Amino acid sequence: MLQDQRQFSSTTTHSEPPSCFRDISPTRRGALTSLEFTAEVHVDNVRLPSWQSQLKGAKEWILAPPPECYYSCDFLSVVVQTGDTIVLDTNKWYHKTNVLSGEISITVGAEYD
């Protein structure tokens, strides 16, 4: 287990943030999500908006409409594939994520100003 944690930690060290964020994103975090994992609808408790790059696998993000149009707007579904980056203020957008069937999800991301 410890070896797996060290190997996983190295993904944040050896992966580059998107070029538009390199100067403003000094800290990065990684996430390894198991097969068919689902995070129920939530907002994050992080200080700033963030970006997340999909290093392996595919993840579906389901975004709830903002409160002012919750009953008249549709939910938005976005599938982030290997190599894609999503930028989102997860403090404000209620969201749910699903790892697509048969996949493992490895992501790296950071908050930005």
Can you tell me the distance from the alpha carbon of 4 to that of 10, in angstroms, rounded to the nearest whole number?
10
Binning pLDDT at 50, 70 and 90, where does residue 23 land?
low
pLDDT at 40: 84
Q: What is the pLDDT of residues 66-81, one digit of tens each?
A: 889 889 999 999 999 9
53 Cα distance to chain centroid? 7
- Alpha carbon separation from 64 to 1, 28, 55, 78, 92 (Å, rounded): 36, 26, 25, 12, 10
Can you tell me the distance from the alpha carbon of 93 to that of 89, in angstroms, rounded to the nearest whole number?
6
Closest Cα partner for 80 from 55, 43, 101, 102? 55
Beta-carbon contacts of 4 under 8 Å, excluding residues fewer than 6 positions away, are none
Domain tally for the chain? 1
- Is 40 within the bounds of a domain? yes
pLDDT at 45: 83
Give the range of the structural domain holding residue 36, as residue numbers without chain letter. Answer: 2-15+28-111
Q: What is the CATH number of the domain that holds 83?
A: 2.60.120.590
